[in-house]
Structure 1
């Protein structure tokens, strides 16, 4: 009965989340269903397991949600994201439209701009470029997914994405874990994705397909759609509803002013991770009032938080004249972080209840028994949970909350570098999360005025297939050569 309850709870969570119900309601309800079937005390599971683990997630990662959303809103309202996207389009020209859209998305998201901010800015630019080059608009979502939701989310070393931050407290790693393998994985995703999109473009030209007709008002409708909002907030760290608040500058930021904060994010993140923090005396962290912890457990989050804070200051300083209502902009960014953070924390609470049930030992033993060793079983676990929840961050946290200590022990036993574990876990979470019910997919299609029938196959090819190829390559290279 316990295993049945686990499956029923998870099934209800996935079913109703896909229908647009709030995860804040669904996750505790599904957790209690699982506990009820397992004959476990309901109130104890709610207050002592669900809430405690959800609160621990917020305590660890809310600074990244908050600072990331504020930074994204400042970049949007100052016109910096628009400027970066326009710069890429101008430099690459009409004959390289697809790379222009892909690289524009990659540049802003690797620089720390929230995914949904990038969506609402890059989609209009992509429409204009694709229309001018007579490339079918059905390929726009795939090009944007490749640039924003693959290698810059999970593979590029130092990416400030929440997905790259989640394994750090578990494994004691930094955002730059396994940098060589991350670069190899990124090149595979980018190269294979561009190959597929150019192949699709060539086939469309041979068939005389052309751009097609735009869906008028799709962007405005998507921004106001509550169903899109509920799905979006479990997928990434920005509430799309807050894009309507604040005040977007009518003048794009000068390109150097727009690029500077992105450079600051990467540079400060690198310096904090590899130079500053390792040289600090942080023996005080062992005190009870600071959680009796270690630098390894907090250094990654500290690095990303300081990098985003420095980028926020840089953005304000360089674009002061374009932010006439700074308080409203920053308020909107702060508010945009709350619902996503609590939604993912609720998924974490659900996962903690499931992991505490006696029946979960069956699932754990099955995962650990997968042939191929710890790296393969870790990749399978993160893939499955990210697929079921439709959230890379939610699935990754559930997997590591339940199995993280076990994988640390297995890594020590098999001589596997924890940096390699980190990179495999993050890439694994960023593959099958891009299923039809994924909030980012649903939101992007709505913004583009397209349907799953129009564009989802190409999204699968550039978002799932390329990530799986990169994951296999990283596992193979890591097994043969170790972490580098």
Structure 2
């Protein structure tokens, strides 16, 4: 009982204090030790040094190259004026009244193209900020727009999404990334149009109250429109990332000759999903340094600032992963999982509820899905539910409570956009928690009432 209370207390403390603006770098290790101490299972310092730190370090080891390349890429897109040029083009073609939709669509195209969620945040921030500034839309709505394009339908619902999360159920249910096609389309439509409705409504309300983009210091954006690259050259780096990631993921790293070379070095080695992204970003960075060099001043300083800008986001997220590692190590976490298995509710809703609850506890859609698949997949299959429906509904549900204030992706997004929880989290929650949870209900009913898969 003490262990369960320790999980609940520290989880709510983490969410509340993160929302109040206290850095997760400090909160996560302190609350992880507190949870261990309150549970009476693990010595607090042992939990810090032997559980928290290995989990955090493991995450940083896996994703630091992606964060580093993504931050430098985003910085270069900003200081060269490429982001400004893209913002101008979109604004001229779609009109300022469609600035919100432009950010969402551009973000979703990158995400659905296979670009990492975290990389999309770095790449879209300078573009979105310039577009919002031109349209005089409050900046605090920008993180929500990026989150709608990256953390919702393209991550969990769209059939064929190459995001890692969409591949996880395949080996448990024998499905493909296109599983639950029509349920995915229904879910995507609910989240996309529901999210746009919310953002446009909020923008009108805030504008009517006299709030515009606002004055924000140290944004790292180009302030003048006199010396910026043409649109075709400005958009080229993003196209390079998109195309290279797609080709490397779907062709090159699947070649037998490439896999054979990898196995010759290590028979147990597998292709790392971050490799295509790192190569694509690296190539795009080189392209910017060459093709847009006349728009760069003090290149070394710009690259250094971009590299430093990657540190806070990845360490914030790593700290969250460390906290989740300690929580998962407690025996009480097994009690929580057992209670989920014993719930007496309709099967398809049990699948959705258990997955989103686990994602909320660990603050991660992939983490919650991994636990749900590992612990509950056999029971889910015995319920007689279509495997395709299981696949899609689990993932849409995983994208619900995963975005609570302590979520590493949310913290990274806010950090990159240079706003805090108090300013922007309400809208992020509406788009990545409330609407996805309502979407889960719609999708479950579509399956139960009409047999749609």
Q: TM-score, normalised by structure 2?
A: 0.74
Q: How many residues align?
A: 435
1:8 aligns with 2:5: no
Q: Note closer, same or farther for the CA distance 1:481–1:263 as it changes in structure 2 (3 Å cut).
A: farther
Match in the other structure for 2:210: 213
1:115 aligns with 2:91: no
Q: Note closer, same or farther for the CA distance 1:428–1:335 as it changes in structure 2 (3 Å cut).
A: farther
Q: Note closer, same or farther for the CA distance 1:322–1:442 as it changes in structure 2 (3 Å cut).
A: closer
Match in the other structure for 1:48: 50
> What is the distance in 1 between the residues matched to 2:419 and 2:308?
21
> What is the distance in 2 between the residues matched to 1:359 and 1:252?
57
How far is 1:331 from its partner? Answer: 2.0
Match in the other structure for 1:330: 303
> Which secondary structure state, in structure 1, belongs to the residue aligned with residue 210 of structure 2?
coil
> Is the CA contact 2:161–2:177 (under 8 Å) kept in the aligned structure 1?
no
How far is 1:90 from its partner? Answer: 0.4
> What is the distance in 2 between the residues matched to 1:283 and 1:411?
36
1:258 aligns with 2:244: no
RMSD: 4.6
> Which secondary structure state, in structure 2, belongs to the residue aligned with residue 55 of structure 1?
helix
> What is the distance in 2 between the residues matched to 1:219 and 1:158?
38
Deviates more, 1:86-95 or 1:310-319: 310-319
Q: Note closer, same or farther for the CA distance 1:137–1:408 as it changes in structure 2 (3 Å cut).
A: closer
Q: Note closer, same or farther for the CA distance 1:337–1:197 as it changes in structure 2 (3 Å cut).
A: closer
> Which secondary structure state, in structure 2, belongs to the residue aligned with residue 359 of structure 1?
helix
1:178 aligns with 2:154: no
| Alignment match of 2:84 (pick from 82, 85, 92) | 82
> Which secondary structure state, in structure 2, belongs to the residue aligned with residue 188 of structure 1?
helix
Where do residues 396-415 of structure 1 align in structure 2 (5 Å cutoff)?
A: 396=365, 398-399=367-368, 402-403=371-372, 405-406=374-375
Q: Note closer, same or farther for the CA distance 1:279–1:215 as it changes in structure 2 (3 Å cut).
A: closer
Structure 2: 5+ residue runs without aligned partners? none
Match in the other structure for 1:57: 59
> Is the CA contact 2:80–2:222 (under 8 Å) kept in the aligned structure 1?
no
| Alignment match of 1:468 (pick from 426, 437, 452) | 437
> Is the CA contact 2:358–2:372 (under 8 Å) kept in the aligned structure 1?
no
Deviations 1:235-293 (Å, cap 9, x if unpaired)? Answer: xxxxxxxx559999973332112222222222222222221112134356668x85x74
1:268 aligns with 2:244: yes
| Alignment match of 1:431 (pick from 396, 400, 406) | 400
> Is the CA contact 1:382–1:428 (under 8 Å) kept in the aligned structure 2?
yes
Q: Note closer, same or farther for the CA distance 1:460–1:5 as it changes in structure 2 (3 Å cut).
A: closer
How far is 1:362 from its partner? Answer: 0.9
Match in the other structure for 2:328: 355
Q: Note closer, same or farther for the CA distance 1:88–1:415 as it changes in structure 2 (3 Å cut).
A: farther
Q: Note closer, same or farther for the CA distance 1:409–1:388 as it changes in structure 2 (3 Å cut).
A: closer
Q: Note closer, same or farther for the CA distance 1:158–1:247 as it changes in structure 2 (3 Å cut).
A: farther
Where do residues 86-101 of structure 1 align in structure 2 (5 Å cutoff)?
A: 86-94=88-96, 96=98, 98-101=100-103
| Alignment match of 1:314 (pick from 287, 290, 296) | 287
> What is the distance in 2 between the residues matched to 1:24 and 1:116?
20
How far is 1:32 from its partner? Answer: 2.0
Q: TM-score, normalised by structure 1?
A: 0.70
> Is the CA contact 2:85–2:231 (under 8 Å) kept in the aligned structure 1?
yes
> Which secondary structure state, in structure 2, belongs to the residue aligned with residue 252 of structure 1?
coil
Match in the other structure for 1:29: 30
Match in the other structure for 2:40: 39
How far is 1:89 from its partner? Answer: 0.9
> Is the CA contact 1:69–1:114 (under 8 Å) kept in the aligned structure 2?
no
> Is the CA contact 2:87–2:130 (under 8 Å) kept in the aligned structure 1?
no
> Is the CA contact 1:83–1:255 (under 8 Å) kept in the aligned structure 2?
yes
